[in-house]
Amino acid sequence: MGAGPAGLLLGRLLHLAGIDSVIVEHRSRDYVQKRVRAGLLEQGTVELLREAGVAHRLDQLAAVHTGFELRFAEESVRIPFADLSGRSVWMYGQAEVVKDLIAAREGVAELHFDARDVVVDEAGGERPVLRYSLDGERVELRCDIVVGCDGYHGVTRSRMPGLRTYEHAYPFAWLGILVEAPPIAKELIYACHERGFSLYSMRSPTVSRLYLQVDPTDTLDQWPDDRVWAELHTRLGTDLGYGLNEGPILERGITSMRSFVAEPMSRGNVFLAGDAAHIVPPTAAKGLNLAVSDVRVLAEALADWFTTGDRKALDGYSERCLRRVWRAEEFSDWMTGLLHRFPDERNMQFRFREARLRYLAGSEAAMSSFSENYVGSAVA
């Protein structure tokens, strides 16, 4: 269920293992391929995409990052996470990953867009049933396995009884813009400012991606171009001598920030992967990478089961994934708290944050621990 990165990559890995699958997506192909989402891929994610044979464009187009710039209190420090952890990250948009995976599946295995009235029945049984309408015809699939890769609002999790959920909403949101302008730096810039957080990112040599912390009740009408650029100049510290290339804003949107985990990530022969099971705030860019980690574990477990009949790895899927999920959730929450200004925050709390940032920037031990978590090599 779901033709995002998790569902498409799982389908690809199963195909390479000789296991048939059907991917069902309720959105259109055009919508799925144009969704602007995360652009930071951990090294483990890139390695798996290469193993799956879908990294040809990634290797040609992606930029490899070995550090990022951290700005606070009119200071600028580079965090050289590759030197400290031995691992890099790649900048390559989620939409591009999706295009690569769709291209690899076309003409090879079933992929259905625009499915309607999707229902998962008998989710706790041995042969779950998937029902949906496609081109006006009702389809029923009696499945060995159903995997919900259909996101936070998908139908699969709602049909799984007895799940325990944990959720936290943050008192701010991100305003993101996609700009037709060359990036001003080769690496990301994270900025902690008394007016709020901002992030400078990039999508290509000609397109930049920028974010501003805003109130969660704000609307796009409250943020005309002039206000967006003025706030970016202020928070990114461009008055300290850093340039900022302005250009036409191609896309914009406001994203709420929350943490969410559902456990266990399976019931009977129905499994959850990616955003259907867990959501992280975007500060540490863990969402897509956690989904890929889930898929790697699940694909290996399914291959064992279909090949040998042994369910040990399949039954241990949830426990194994959740160790990484909770590590990433905690780090994402910590990094979010470190860089954002909270409503009604006392001045002393903001100075505490500056002290934490100075410790991170000045201690090799602290920077090494941060880097290990940031690149995804730290697992509880």
DSSP string for residues in 180-236: ES--S-SS-EEEEETTEEEEEEEEETTEEEEEEEE-TT--GGG--HHHHHHHHHHHT
What tokens appear for 252 in the block?
């914009």
Residue 359 within any structural domain of the chain: no
Q: For the chain, what is the domain count?
A: 1
Rounded Cα distance between 178 and 203, Å, is 9
Please give the residue range of the domain that contains residue 100: 5-63+91-167+259-339
Catalytic residue among 132, 170, 190, 200: 190
pLDDT of 283 higher than 70? yes
Give CA angle at 333 (322, 192), nearest 5°.
150
Q: Chain-wide mean pLDDT for the chain?
A: 93
Could you report the per-residue pLDDT of 323-361, keeping only the tens digit for each? 999 999 999 999 999 999 998 888 788 889 999 999 999
Half-sphere exposure of 176 (CA within 13 A, CB side): 21
Catalytic residue among 92, 132, 317, 374: 374
pLDDT attached to residue 33:
87
Catalytic residue among 200, 282, 317, 340: 282
Pick the more confident residue, 125 or 104: 104
Catalytic residue among 65, 99, 193, 278: 65
Rounded Cα distance between 248 and 179, Å, is 6
Q: Which residues contact 146 (CB under 8 A, 6 or more apart)?
A: 1, 120, 123, 128, 130, 156, 269, 270, 271
* Run of H or E including 259: strand 249-263
Q: Is 135 buried (19+), middle (13-18) or exposed (0-12) by CB count in 10 A?
A: exposed
pLDDT band at 83 (very low <50, low <70, confident <90, very high): very high
Rounded Cα distance between 234 and 229, Å, is 9
Could you report the per-residue pLDDT of 366-376, keeping only the tens digit for each? 999 999 999 99
Rounded Cα distance between 38 and 213, Å, is 16
pLDDT band at 124 (very low <50, low <70, confident <90, very high): low
The pLDDT of 36-45, averaged and rounded, is: 87
- Percentage of the chain modeled with pLDDT above 70: 97
pLDDT attached to residue 192:
93
pLDDT of 240 higher than 70? no
374 classed as catalytic: yes
pLDDT of 32 higher than 70? yes
pLDDT attached to residue 105:
95
pLDDT attached to residue 93:
87
pLDDT of 380 higher than 70? no
Rounded Cα distance between 271 and 265, Å, is 6
Residue 244 within any structural domain of the chain: no
pLDDT of 239 higher than 80? no
Residue 326 within any structural domain of the chain: yes
Residue 147 within any structural domain of the chain: yes
Residue 319 within any structural domain of the chain: yes
pLDDT attached to residue 379:
63
65 classed as catalytic: yes
pLDDT attached to residue 377:
81
Q: Is 134 buried (19+), middle (13-18) or exposed (0-12) by CB count in 10 A?
A: middle
Rounded Cα distance between 336 and 316, Å, is 31
Residue 222 within any structural domain of the chain: no
pLDDT of 48 higher than 90? yes
190 classed as catalytic: yes
Min mean pLDDT across 39-53, 112-126, 131-145, 203-217 is at: 112-126
pLDDT band at 38 (very low <50, low <70, confident <90, very high): confident
pLDDT attached to residue 350:
85
Rounded Cα distance between 105 and 45, Å, is 19
The pLDDT of 291-318, averaged and rounded, is: 96
CATH number, domain containing residue 146: 3.50.50.60
Residue 113 within any structural domain of the chain: yes
171 classed as catalytic: no
pLDDT of 106 higher than 60? yes
Give the number of other CB atoms < 10 A from CB of residue 256. Answer: 12
Rounded Cα distance between 45 and 329, Å, is 18
Residue 248 within any structural domain of the chain: no
What tokens appear for 212 in the block?
């501003």
Catalytic residue among 26, 99, 278, 286: 286
pLDDT attached to residue 121:
85
pLDDT band at 293 (very low <50, low <70, confident <90, very high): very high
282 classed as catalytic: yes
Q: Phi and psi dihedrals of 250, rounded to 5?
A: -80, -40
Are the beta carbons of 121 and 159 closer than 8 angstroms?
yes
Q: Phi and psi dihedrals of 340, rounded to 5?
A: -105, 150
pLDDT attached to residue 123:
58
pLDDT attached to residue 87:
96
Min mean pLDDT across 16-30, 242-256, 304-318 is at: 242-256
pLDDT attached to residue 346:
80
Rounded Cα distance between 90 and 96, Å, is 13
Enumerate long-range contacts of 56-60, CB under 8 Å, 24 or more apart. 56/100, 57/96, 57/100, 58/90, 58/92, 58/96, 58/97, 58/100
pLDDT attached to residue 349:
87
The pLDDT of 297-315, averaged and rounded, is: 96
Could you report the per-residue pLDDT of 84-96, keeping only the tens digit for each? 999 999 999 899 9
Nearest residue to 193 via CA among 71, 333, 356 = 71
Could you report the per-residue pLDDT of 188-205, keeping only the tens digit for each? 999 999 999 999 998 888
pLDDT of 71 higher than 80? yes
